Structure 1
Amino acid sequence: MPQWAEYSTGERIKILRGERTQDELAHLAGLSPVRVRRAEQDVQLTLPTLLALSDALSADVSVILGQQAPRRGLGHEDRQMLRRLSHTVHDTAAGILQQDDEAPTVAELRAAVDRCWDLYWDGRYAEAGAVAAPLVRSAAARLHDQPDGARAGAHGLLADAYRVAAYVSNLLGQRDLAYTAIGHARSESAAAADDLRQALVDSGRAWIYLRDARLPDALRLAEKAAADIEPRFSRATVEQLTVYGSHVNFAAVVASRMGDKERSADLLSQSHAAGARMGGEHRAHGTLFGPVSATTQAVGINVALGKAGQALDLAGSVTPDDEAELSQAAQRRYALDRAMAQADTRRWDDALDTLEEALTASPEWARHQALPQVIVDKVGRASTARLRRVSTLIGARETAPTGFATATSRTAL
């Protein structure tokens, strides 16, 4: 498979067009069908034509020109959603509100924030992003309408909305937008004078650092965020333990990516202690944590540290009833970690069975995961119907690809 830059501009336009016809693209772009056909035949593009195609395809000009590759798994609707989300984040941060933006009640906004997080943790990222855009506008409108002296709560809700936007953007590979949104979330949480929200935002920024391969920065910030809210276990609430446990669990993930076994083990010990105090899984402030989360995350951490056998031993202690307590996205992520451990121990058929089950159960979630391709590459050239089925599910070839679709990171939250 050629690298993205090795395609001609016309070929790239055709690939981005997907299943739509040339006439349909022409209608979306406000161009004549002849102009679209000529563009795909590599007749030199004028700037107005290039910009019109960029808008219709919801793709940056740099992608059309081959200067950067498109994000694997993003369809036309995903790109449109991200563009709307980007416009909303930048406009609201600049104080630009639409005339028809209504200011819902605080209770309505809290319910909308919870709805966004539910979609996110169910692995419905495009839908979460579609809801996040009006949520950000509504929270900004609420803040604008709040009287002086009563704005702290509205600042907090706007921080929550920006944090959702940052998480969706980061998971879908839109790093610049993720950095921007999490920066605005930090400003709003500071204005709310809410230490817990600031720690949540810092942990979110640490995750962006992790996805951006800034591992030392990610670990430093993740550990600071956890330390800032470390509760006294003797009187900690379930809400406090949920947020703290998820923070320290994430710090353990970062340490494992750096190969720091000692620090990972120490952080995991703290994570398990928090989970044991809780007795079950809980959600709070857009985070999920409990004893099952601590164990399943430890499976992935051991895989990252090259301890596949230990990872599978841990997985053996997790029952189906335990798994049912996790969110849909957490269940599928845990399945990928198990599949990776099985592949690392040369249990090829088990790895493909586990992977196929996860991909079939959540195809929308699977579109945005890199690890399935890594597992298929590890299994190699095994000529089995099972391998062919899994390769079809992830839209991959059965052997390691060399083009722009190659997986480069297995990190997901």
Structure 2
Amino acid sequence: MPQWSDYSNGERIKILRGADLRQTDLAEMTGLSVVTIQKAEQDRALSLPTLLKIASALSVDTSVILGQQAPRRAMVRDDRTALRLLSTTVHDTASGYLPEGAEPVPIADLGEATRVAWDLYWSGDYQRLVGVLGPLLVDAAVTVSAMTGDSRLAAAGYLSDAYQIAACTANLLGARDLAYAAVGHSRSAAQRADEPLRLARVTSARSWVYLRDGRLREALELCEQAAATVEPRYSDASAERLTVYGNLLTHCAVNAARMEDEDRAGDYLSQVHAVGARLGVEHDFHGARFGPVTAVAQAVGVNVTIGRVGKALKLAGSVGRGQLGTLSDAARNRYGLDVAMAQADAKMYDAALDTLEETLTAAPQWARHQALPGVIVQKVGRASTGRLRRVADLIGVRPGVEGGFLPATPKTAL
């Protein structure tokens, strides 16, 4: 499969433009003539002003068009545009650059907007999420600066949530620098809000950023320290505290599994199940959902990671479809991928493809940003032909080819 640098500048422009954006559309977006766009895509002419205008319209850095760096995995044009807008809003609000004449909003409105933003995040609708998250960041920042007393504390809490959602979104889309910046702003706002449980939630998000950046030991230490600070006592075992604590223990188990520390991962899973049983039902708090079903779903993924495939499948067999409905969309989809991976490891290839296809069809936008589907397709290999090609088409890879996030031909959109 060609590397991104193997294409010409014109081919890279054509790929980034994709089938949904015509040359006439790109000409209108850039203010350039159609002839200029055609020449650029034919490698007949690409001046610096033209390059800058095309890169801006396609929401990429000029280095991507020049082949110096590849576009982020599974990032279509709308994703790139959303990420750029999110980055601008995060940095502007954190630096105090707020719109002139902006006024504080009622705390109840901030709370409702935050709930909507979390729902969009967990549903995997990242483009709509940015449309909500941008105004939320501005409104919360303006309200914090204008309020005093309890209202200021409450607004700071919602500002922390908004930055945390931004950090998680950026982390998922591979914008690591933005994720680090946003989670730092989230922590500062949570400290201002003076809410230990909210601060612990931010720590779990920070741990996830570390995890995806390969800083496994530091990620685990963060989770362990935060879990120790919010561990429920007999005098304070509220559903909120149990939810945050269970969420942190889950992060500990995942990090230990990634470090190939099976005993430690197993110990944390035992605690995760115990906390889930103690809650009895799924509970939401500051964007986290935890309970007995979440505990089992997470345990499936951890057991797959540490190679206990039989145990993972046994746990999956204990979860009914009705129970899966209590999970968030993202958690349910991730569970589907974990089950498909376990089935592939157990050489249950047809079952793995069934599970994978069902998950990809149910959540195509979310699945675009996941690496696991490609891994599963590679593992199944040539065990199935027609069905394998159909599933591979859903994630844009070719069976038997590592990494295939680039198109097979320049005419195919990323």
Give the TM-score normalised by the residue count of structure 2.
0.94
1:125 paired residue number: 126
2:313 paired residue number: 312
1:34-91 Cα deviation digits (max 9, x unpaired): 2222222224533322221111001122222222211222221111111111110111
Identity of aligned residues (%): 56
The answer to whether 1:12 aligns with 2:12 is: yes
1:271 paired residue number: 272
1:281 paired residue number: 282
Change (3 A) 1:233 1:323: farther
1:353 paired residue number: 354
2:75 corresponds to which letter in structure 1?
L
1:251-283 Cα deviation digits (max 9, x unpaired): 111110110111111111111111111101111
Tell me the secondary structure at the aligned position of residue 189 of structure 1.
Answer: helix
How far did residue 362 of structure 1 move?
Answer: 1.5
1:222 paired residue number: 223
1:191 corresponds to which letter in structure 2?
R
Tell me the secondary structure at the aligned position of residue 151 of structure 1.
Answer: helix
Indicate if the aligned counterparts of 1:2 and 1:403 stay in contact, CA closer than 8 A: no
- In 2, the alpha carbon distance for the partners of 1:102 and 1:61 equals 37
How far did residue 332 of structure 1 move?
Answer: 1.1
1:345-368 Cα deviation digits (max 9, x unpaired): 101001001111111112222222
Indicate if the aligned counterparts of 2:397 and 2:403 stay in contact, CA closer than 8 A: no
1:328-353 Cα deviation digits (max 9, x unpaired): 21111111101000000101001001
Q: After alignment, is 47-56 or 106-115 more displaced?
A: 47-56
1:137 paired residue number: 138
Q: Superposition RMSD on alpha carbons, in Å?
A: 1.7
1:391 paired residue number: 392
- In 2, the alpha carbon distance for the partners of 1:222 and 1:43 equals 54
Indicate if the aligned counterparts of 2:191 and 2:199 stay in contact, CA closer than 8 A: yes
1:9 corresponds to which letter in structure 2?
N
2:77 corresponds to which letter in structure 1?
H
2:49 paired residue number: 48
- In 1, the alpha carbon distance for the partners of 2:90 and 2:67 equals 27
* Contiguous gaps of at least 5 residues in structure 2: 408-414
Indicate if the aligned counterparts of 2:344 and 2:352 stay in contact, CA closer than 8 A: yes
Change (3 A) 1:383 1:316: closer
- In 2, the alpha carbon distance for the partners of 1:100 and 1:43 equals 48
Q: After alignment, is 387-396 or 343-352 more displaced?
A: 387-396
1:290 paired residue number: 291
- In 1, the alpha carbon distance for the partners of 2:345 and 2:142 equals 51
Equivalences for residues 25-174 of structure 1 within 5 A: 25-43=26-44, 45-99=46-100, 101-147=102-148, 151-174=152-175
Indicate if the aligned counterparts of 1:4 and 1:404 stay in contact, CA closer than 8 A: no
1:410 paired residue number: none
The answer to whether 1:303 aligns with 2:280 is: no
2:412 paired residue number: none
- In 1, the alpha carbon distance for the partners of 2:8 and 2:378 equals 28
Q: Give the number of equivalent residue pairs.
A: 406
2:65 corresponds to which letter in structure 1?
I
Q: After alignment, is 125-134 or 353-362 more displaced?
A: 125-134
Tell me the secondary structure at the aligned position of residue 99 of structure 2.
Answer: coil
- In 1, the alpha carbon distance for the partners of 2:389 and 2:404 equals 19
Indicate if the aligned counterparts of 1:128 and 1:168 stay in contact, CA closer than 8 A: no
2:7 corresponds to which letter in structure 1?
Y
* Contiguous gaps of at least 5 residues in structure 1: 407-413
1:156-185 Cα deviation digits (max 9, x unpaired): 221111111111111111111111111111
Q: After alignment, is 358-367 or 108-117 more displaced?
A: 358-367
Indicate if the aligned counterparts of 2:64 and 2:71 stay in contact, CA closer than 8 A: yes
Indicate if the aligned counterparts of 1:342 and 1:351 stay in contact, CA closer than 8 A: yes
2:12 corresponds to which letter in structure 1?
R
Equivalences for residues 193-272 of structure 1 within 5 A: 193-233=194-234, 235-272=236-273
1:93-146 Cα deviation digits (max 9, x unpaired): 111111254422111101111111111112222222321111111111111221
- In 2, the alpha carbon distance for the partners of 1:106 and 1:247 equals 28
Q: After alignment, is 119-128 or 49-58 more displaced?
A: 119-128
1:401 paired residue number: 402
Indicate if the aligned counterparts of 2:396 and 2:404 stay in contact, CA closer than 8 A: no
2:92 corresponds to which letter in structure 1?
D
- The answer to which structure, 1 or 2, has the higher relative contact order (CA under 8 A, 6+ apart) is 2
How far did residue 287 of structure 1 move?
Answer: 0.3
- In 2, the alpha carbon distance for the partners of 1:144 and 1:224 equals 31
How far did residue 149 of structure 1 move?
Answer: 7.8
Change (3 A) 1:38 1:319: same
Tell me the secondary structure at the aligned position of residue 400 of structure 2.
Answer: coil
Tell me the secondary structure at the aligned position of residue 213 of structure 1.
Answer: coil
1:411 paired residue number: none
Q: After alignment, is 361-370 or 280-289 more displaced?
A: 361-370
Give the TM-score normalised by the residue count of structure 1.
0.94
Indicate if the aligned counterparts of 2:258 and 2:305 stay in contact, CA closer than 8 A: yes
1:225 corresponds to which letter in structure 2?
A
Indicate if the aligned counterparts of 1:85 and 1:129 stay in contact, CA closer than 8 A: yes
